[in-house]
Homo-oligomer: A and B are copies of this chain.
Amino acid sequence: MSIERSKIRWNGWGWAAHKDTLAARDDLWTWLAEELGMPSLLATPAREIADIVLPAQCLHADTRAGLVAMLGPDRVRDDVYERAFHALGRSYHDLLRQRSGDLPVAPDAVLYPRGTDEVLALLAFAAEHDIAVVPYGGGTSVVGGVSAVSGSFHSVVTLDLSGMDRLIEVDAASRTATAEAGIYGPALEKALQAKGVTLGHHPQSFEFSTLGGWIAHRGAGQGSSRYGRAEDWLVGAKLATPRGLLETGGFPASAAGPQLNDIVPGSEGVFGIITEATFRVHAAPAANDYRGYLFRDFAGGAAAIRAAVQEDLPATMLRLSDAEETRFFRAYGALDNKPGASHRIETLYLQMRGFDEKPAALIAGFEGEAGTVEAGRRRFAAIAAAHGALPLGLRQGRRWQEGRFHGPYLRDPMMDRGVGVDTLETAASWSKLDTLYGAVRTALDKAMRETAPMPGAHGIVLCHISHSYPDGASLYFTYIFPRALGGEIAQWQAIKAAASDAIMANGGTISHHHGVGEDHLPWMAQEKGALGIEVLRAIKRTLDPKGILNPGKLIPQELPRP
């Protein structure tokens, strides 16, 4: 197994051994309280594992014995840590419940299969014994994708795929590779790069998420402009279902009807469990160049990105923060240095250059052959200049690269200090993006004010364009707010609903790369239409007639009246 579960936090982000240095930074908390319109921030520590309450374990002794007979005792686990670790994902909503010590759900047992045949056998067993099955890769879902919900069944097991972590083959001629789905990001990249290739899929969760998880939730890495989204790089999959194995794809392109390979990305363990995948790889990049630019405003930066992607500029990443995100991280960064002098000089310089209060920072990344990288960088610099940007140089790019997977670690210390932080994301065509941006900002701001713990308190909305396409782009929102202690889940639900309704009303998709899980379920019928949901249900019924697979995710059971 490439990762021991005990080395990862069960109720927070990342390595258990990670040292949080922020807790003791009083300057930070004073500043953040001020940002949120709060007089001060309270200590709100998480419960210890010894103090948590788990749901009663429902697995019949005979059933457990049957599972042990299949896998051996080491791969059927039901101690408190294993059950708590696999109860939920790692969303803000999940962390609220994990930290409160009151877990509403937990698997009755966690199973560690070692191959496609074992997964198929386990699914047949679970279908026969009416047990719900939740597939689990790295468990970093931020939309409730791995909640150990039993649905209409009396018990639920989680299939942890981390024991299925082999790189099976690299087909050098075809630039594809095949691996077991449970392999983690770093192990996969290490094995691929040893053969001179890369998948290049680097979501923020990269260190703690798996190949199968990336596909199941239809993810996009930070460098997806070059390396593609999961649905772009997936060539073929083995999908283990209660009805047997469905093998999809395997061709560079095909007109043999609708491609079943296309319904694997985004299937979220509801149609089947991805056990192996074949995917497109690239030559490991010989060069890379990440650097910063500062635009006069968000709209100017967005226009530059649009110009670049519409002329097929081969960028790896173009990431543009809005004015508020730029301001927030500049101010946050300034806390680290001697506050004052350099920050004031920077501000003065920007004013002289005609930048007002709304500058927007962009990181442009290029990877590949040295010549292509250099040509792309130069071309983007010209586009940025034409849109009035100031080049910030390599330092900003280096800083972003160093911290590219670090963001989620900031959430735990904030939650220790009465601060909530969540993210959500959407995408729309360029012609709708500006309206969508404004509507979601406004909805978040209003909902955070309305649910704030005291009058005058409010939240912060940060946004960036994380991924761009010739026809549109994604918007990634981070919202930070003072927790309404005691009513935090209702607070989160109100904020989430307000933003989601604004997304639906303004031509956005309910998710660009986080997926659906439990959290986006209420908006799926609106996004897909009643007939569309029926199509998804028909696929599900065919592959999983009893509905044992990942209950309560992706496909709504009730449809609104037409």
Which residues of A approach B to under 8 Å, CB–CB?
A: 171, 173-176, 217-220, 229, 231, 235, 241, 243-248, 250-260, 262-268, 271, 280, 283, 306, 310-312, 314, 368-369, 372, 427-432, 467, 469-474, 507-516, 520, 524, 527-529, 531-532, 534-539, 541-543, 554-555
- The smallest C-beta distance from A399 to any residue of chain B, in angstroms, reads 27
Can you list 6 A-B contacts with CB-CB less than 8 angstroms, sorted by A residue number?
A175-B471, A218-B258, A246-B532, A247-B529, A256-B511, A531-B543
Q: Which residue of B lies closest to A249 (CB)?
A: B509
Inter-chain contacts of A509 with B (CB < 8 A): 251, 253-256
Complex CA–CA separation, A528 to B251 (angstroms): 12
A511: which of B220, B254, B258, B306 is its contact (CB, 8 Å)? B254
Nearest 8 CB-CB pairings of A with B: A252-B472, A262-B262, A254-B509, A174-B429, A252-B469, A218-B255, A538-B538, A258-B263
**Given A173-B430, A258-B536, A259-B262, is A253 in contact with B531 using a C-beta cutoff of 8 Å?**
no
**Given A369-B311, A507-B250, is A430 in contact with B255 using a C-beta cutoff of 8 Å?**
no
B257–A267 touching, CB < 8 Å: yes
8 more contacts with CB within 8 A, not counting A171-B429, A256-B516, are A244-B531, A251-B427, A252-B469, A252-B472, A254-B509, A256-B515, A257-B554, A260-B535
Which of A219, A243, A509 counts the most chain B CB atoms within 10 A? A509
Inter-chain contacts of A267 with B (CB < 8 A): 257-258
B431–A173 touching, CB < 8 Å: yes
B256–A528 touching, CB < 8 Å: yes
B260–A532 touching, CB < 8 Å: yes
A539: which of B247, B255, B432, B535 is its contact (CB, 8 Å)? B535
A257–B541 touching, CB < 8 Å: no
B257–A524 touching, CB < 8 Å: yes
**Given A263-B263, A531-B241, A542-B538, is A255 in contact with B511 using a C-beta cutoff of 8 Å?**
yes
Complex CA–CA separation, A268 to B258 (angstroms): 9
Inter-chain contacts of A312 with B (CB < 8 A): 314, 368, 372
Complex CA–CA separation, A259 to B535 (angstroms): 11
A266: which of B259, B306, B515 is its contact (CB, 8 Å)? B259
B229–A524 touching, CB < 8 Å: no
B471–A430 touching, CB < 8 Å: no
B527–A252 touching, CB < 8 Å: no
Inter-chain contacts of A255 with B (CB < 8 A): 217-220, 266, 509, 511-516
Complex CA–CA separation, A171 to B507 (angstroms): 14
B251–A428 touching, CB < 8 Å: yes
Complex CA–CA separation, A263 to B542 (angstroms): 16
**Given A471-B280, A541-B538, is A174 in contact with B430 using a C-beta cutoff of 8 Å?**
yes
Inter-chain contacts of A251 with B (CB < 8 A): 427-429, 472, 508-509
Q: Which residue of B lies closest to A243 (CB)?
A: B531
A253–B229 touching, CB < 8 Å: yes
Q: Which residue of B lies closest to A224 (CB)?
A: B253
Inter-chain contacts of A538 with B (CB < 8 A): 538-539, 541-542
Complex CA–CA separation, A473 to B553 (angstroms): 37
Which of A310, A311, A429, A516 counts the most chain B CB atoms within 10 A? A429
Inter-chain contacts of A432 with B (CB < 8 A): 174
Inter-chain contacts of A555 with B (CB < 8 A): 257
Q: Which residue of B lies closest to A554 (CB)?
A: B257
A253: which of B252, B368, B427, B528 is its contact (CB, 8 Å)? B427
- The smallest C-beta distance from A525 to any residue of chain B, in angstroms, reads 11
B524–A256 touching, CB < 8 Å: yes
A256–B510 touching, CB < 8 Å: yes
Which of A218, A314, A535, A536 counts the most chain B CB atoms within 10 A? A535
Complex CA–CA separation, A259 to B261 (angstroms): 11
- The smallest C-beta distance from A305 to any residue of chain B, in angstroms, reads 12
B469–A253 touching, CB < 8 Å: yes
- The smallest C-beta distance from A310 to any residue of chain B, in angstroms, reads 6
A512–B253 touching, CB < 8 Å: yes
**Given A174-B431, A252-B471, is A534 in contact with B542 using a C-beta cutoff of 8 Å?**
yes
- The smallest C-beta distance from A450 to any residue of chain B, in angstroms, reads 27
A235: which of B174, B235, B252, B471 is its contact (CB, 8 Å)? B471
Inter-chain contacts of A524 with B (CB < 8 A): 256-257
